[in-house]
Amino acid sequence: MPSATMHILLVEPEPMLRRTVAMTARSLGLGQVHEAATSAAALRLLSVRRFQGAVIAVECVGSGKDSRYDLGLIDRLRAEAAAAEQALSIAIMTETATPELLSDLRERQISRVILKPFRAKVVLETIEKICRSQKA
């Protein structure tokens, strides 16, 4: 890939963490981090731009036997990348990593799972790794 700016999608509901990571990544020259607080906001960003990587907070929805992880955004990113014949590195952030979730993530070729709570530095290191892998 040419030395053009890398566009990374960051989906994180916590505004302070999201802004800190995005601003720090920009100041370090890691790429252009596009922020979204929700999957719906991320889908709006997807309608106007392609991304070379993504770091996405994945939440458990529902309760009891009906609980599941919402992986729809990941599926949409993968489908768009496949249609464009583009490699796409995706990392997720979550509070727990159940065997079912890990299996679903493996099927979706997720490059990294970050367990909450974590330091912003962990997300920045992940963004840096995504940018390096896309430039290689």
- Long-range CB pairs of 24-32 (<8 Å, 24+ gap) are 24/120, 24/124, 25/124, 25/127, 28/124, 28/128, 30/6, 30/124, 30/127, 30/128, 30/131, 31/5, 31/6, 31/7, 31/127, 31/131, 32/5, 32/6, 32/7, 32/8
- Domains of the chain in start order, with CATH, are 7-135 (3.40.50.2300)
Axis crossing angle, helix 15-27 with helix 120-135, rounded to the nearest 10: 50
- pLDDT tens for residues 34-77? 999 999 999 999 999 989 999 999 988 877 777 788 999 999 99
- pLDDT tens for residues 103-134? 999 999 997 999 998 888 999 999 999 988 87
pTM metric for this prediction: 0.90
d(CA 87, CA 109): 11
